[in-house]
């Protein structure tokens, strides 16, 4: 085992980097990408400096792995900034405050309203077909409405 460590070549580091990058494809969230890049960087350094001892190779790999993982963690943490479209993919939230026509009469608090080319389930005061209601909230896939006079 020690003989293997004492004769590490740049091919060993490039192979490790390749394996880590392949594992990243299966969903490691970016961390194996950067550790694989650290292994590849050590491989390049080992190619450029063939006399580099295995202790220095492992030390460089460890330091580069930690540095790149911290870089990725910090970048991920600061990349989450507020969206300029906070209701994107929250269709019901986009509808709050808008007025629509009752498609299926609201009876005993339940009915349906026509929204663009679709129909949404609605909960609110009784309303006849064709009357107008305003969306005031959302509970899951059900819009909460109130009648408009």
Same domain for 15 and 40?
A: yes
Is residue 110 in a domain?
A: yes
Range of the domain at 106: 91-147
Same domain as 126, residue 68: no
**In a domain? residue 86:** no
Whole-angstrom Cα distance, residue 131 to residue 105? Answer: 9
In a domain, 84, yes or no: no
Is residue 83 situated within a structural domain? no
pTM for the full predicted model: 0.50
Whether 11 and 66 map to the same domain: the answer is: yes
pLDDT digits (tens, 9 = 90+) for 40-93: 999 988 889 888 888 888 899 999 999 988 888 888 777 777 777 766 667 778
Do 146 and 136 meet the contact criterion of CB atoms below 8 Å apart? yes
Tokens 């390749």, residue located: 18
Domain end marker among 21, 53, 78 = 78
Show the tokens assigned to 13: 């580091």
Reduced to 3 states (helix: H, G, I; strand: E, B; else coil), residue 137 is strand
55's tokens:
């202790």
Domain count, the chain: 2
pLDDT tens for residues 4-35?
A: 556 677 788 888 888 988 888 887 677 788 88
Question: How far, in Å, are 6, 107, 116 from residue 127 at the CA level?
Answer: 83, 7, 19
Q: What are phi and psi of 3, to 5 degrees?
A: -65, -40
Q: Is residue 43 part of a domain?
A: yes
Q: Give yes or no: residues 126 and 104 share one domain.
A: yes
Are 58 and 101 in a shared domain? no
């Amino acid at each position: 085992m020690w003989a293997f460590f004492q004769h590490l070549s740049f091919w060993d580091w490039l192979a490790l980097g390749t394996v880590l990058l392949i594992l990243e494809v299966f969903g490691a969230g970016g961390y194996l990408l950067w550790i694989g890049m650290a292994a590849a960087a050590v491989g390049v350094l080992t190619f450029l400096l063939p006399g580099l001892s295995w202790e220095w190779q492992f030390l460089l790999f460890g330091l580069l792995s930690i540095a790149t993982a911290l870089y990725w963690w910090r970048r991920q943490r600061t990349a989450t900034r507020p969206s300029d479209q906070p209701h994107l993919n929250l269709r019901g939230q986009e509808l709050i405050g808008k007025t629509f026509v009752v498609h299926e009469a609201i009876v005993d608090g339940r009915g349906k309203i026509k929204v663009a080319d679709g129909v949404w389930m609605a909960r609110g005061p009784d309303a006849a077909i064709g009357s107008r209601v305003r969306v005031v909230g959302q509970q899951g896939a059900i819009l909460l409405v109130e009648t408009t006079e």
